[in-house]
């Protein structure tokens, strides 16, 4: 691997200047790349990257290295759907000559042996889609960190940004926490707030969270390595876990404000499922929206205005440009 100019260090006894070694657990989505870039820019030696193998590879080894050419099996579906990130973590790994592994069973002895042989000081994760078993969490002396796009303990779980938009809040954030047996429940190392502007798409919000998460992750790694950071246990009061959304979670009742409906539709526009407005006994599947009017008062639940459909909310009216 190519040497980094700026090096973060961890105390390894007499070898105080040894480069801090990290294994990075990520995925093929856009959220994983910015935190990885932040670690590398900050002088952390990322000695390996681990991806979760797709379920279809149930008969594959527990863990295996990827060649430096070709496409990981876990990326094939996204490439076919046009959802590949422009420069994902495997692209970064190949530029930096960082080994990449796909893991099917992280808790298997062979997988633990591979991870242990890499001698990581810390494991960092961002958008890794599997639970990391305790036997792996115990490998690195500095522990394991995860970047989560919500203000924990609120909205633990696999799709926090969906629930941020669903709740209609205008203030969210990013948390870096210690990984534990309970999903997203470990002690907080770094946390920062981030505004949710009107009309922002989920893709753009994810990008902003990832950029902020990269800064927080590097700060967390440096603080743990220097012994200057004390993780804070999460509060149990107000903690919430939200799973993957169901069909009903895409329904928008007319009792919402038009502003809330507009922001939710924009926020989930990159999901394969479209929101459905439930108004006056009608169900309208919305593909896109152009805006909302806070002070509008429609005499009927639905009104056609040229090429747009106006939907009455409480308060306001939503302008939709593509609907069924």
Q: Are 23 and 46 contacting, i.e. CB atoms less than 8 angstroms apart? A: yes
Q: How many CA atoms lie within 13 A of 71 on its CB side?
A: 13
Select the highest-mean-pLDDT range: 49-63, 83-97, 305-319: 305-319
Q: Give the CB-side neighbour count of residue 271, counting CA atoms within 13 A.
A: 21
Query: Per-residue pLDDT for 280 more than 90?
Result: no
How far apart are the C-alpha atoms of 116 and 179, rounded to whole Å? 17
Tokens of 32: 């994983």
Q: What does DSSP say about strands 122-126 and 188-195: parallel, antiparallel, or unpaired?
A: unpaired
Tell me if 54 sits within 8 A of 73, measured CB to CB.
yes
User: Residue 29: its pLDDT value, please?
Assistant: 84
pLDDT at residue 139 in the model:
98
- Looking at residue 39, what is its pLDDT? 98
- Helices 89-96 & 33-41, crossing angle to 10 degrees? 30
Query: Residue 252 to residues 26, 241, 279, 284: CA-CA distances in angstroms?
Result: 33, 21, 9, 10
What domains lie within the chain, and their CATH numbers? Answer: 21-226 (3.40.50.170), 247-323 (3.10.25.10)
List the beta strands (DSSP E) in the chain: 21-26, 45-52, 63-65, 100-103, 122-126, 144-148, 171-178, 188-195, 251-253, 276-279, 282-293, 302-305, 308-312, 317-323
- Sheet containing 171-178: give its strands across: 63-65, 100-103, 45-52, 21-26, 122-126, 144-148, 171-178, 188-195
At 282-298, the pLDDT tens digits run 899 999 999 999 988 88
Task: Give the model confidence (pLDDT) of 114-163 as tens digits.
Answer: 999 999 999 999 999 999 999 999 999 999 999 999 999 999 999 999 99
161 three-class SS = helix
d(CA 254, CA 257): 8
């Amino acid at each position: 691997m190519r040497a980094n100019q700026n090096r973060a260090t961890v105390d390894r006894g007499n070898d105080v200047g040894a480069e801090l070694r990290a294994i990075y657990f990520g995925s093929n989505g856009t959220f994983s790349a910015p935190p990885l870039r932040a670690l590398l820019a900050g002088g952390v030696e990322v000695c390996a990257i681990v991806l979760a193998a797709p379920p279809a590879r149930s008969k594959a080894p527990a863990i295996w290295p990827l060649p430096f050419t070709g496409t990981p099996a876990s990326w094939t579906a996204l490439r076919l759907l046009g959802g590949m990130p422009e420069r994902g973590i495997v692209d970064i790994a190949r530029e930096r000559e960082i080994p990449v592994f796909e893991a099917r069973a992280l808790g298997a002895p062979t997988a633990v042996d591979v991870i242990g042989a890499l001698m990581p000081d810390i494991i960092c994760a961002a958008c890794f889609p599997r639970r990391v078993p305790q036997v792996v969490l115990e490998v690195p002396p500095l522990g394991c960190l995860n970047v989560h796009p919500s203000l924990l303990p609120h909205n633990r779980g696999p799709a926090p940004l969906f629930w941020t938009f669903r709740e209609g809040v205008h203030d969210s954030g990013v948390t870096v926490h210690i990984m534990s047996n309970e999903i997203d429940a470990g002690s907080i190392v770094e946390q920062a707030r981030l505004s949710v502007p009107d009309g922002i798409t989920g893709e753009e919000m994810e990008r902003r969270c990832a950029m902020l998460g990269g800064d927080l992750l590097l700060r967390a790694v440096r603080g743990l390595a220097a012994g200057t950071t004390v993780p804070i246990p999460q509060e149990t009061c107000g903690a919430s876990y939200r799973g993957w959304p169901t069909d009903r979670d895409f329904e928008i009742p007319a009792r919402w404000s038009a502003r809330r409906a507009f922001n939710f539709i924009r926020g989930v526009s990159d999901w394969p499922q479209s929101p459905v407005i439930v108004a006056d006994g009608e169900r309208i599947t919305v593909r896109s929206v152009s805006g909302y009017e806070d002070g509008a008062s429609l005499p009927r639940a639905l009104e056609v205005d040229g090429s747009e459909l106006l939907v009455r909310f409480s308060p306001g009216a939503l302008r939709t440009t593509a609907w069924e």
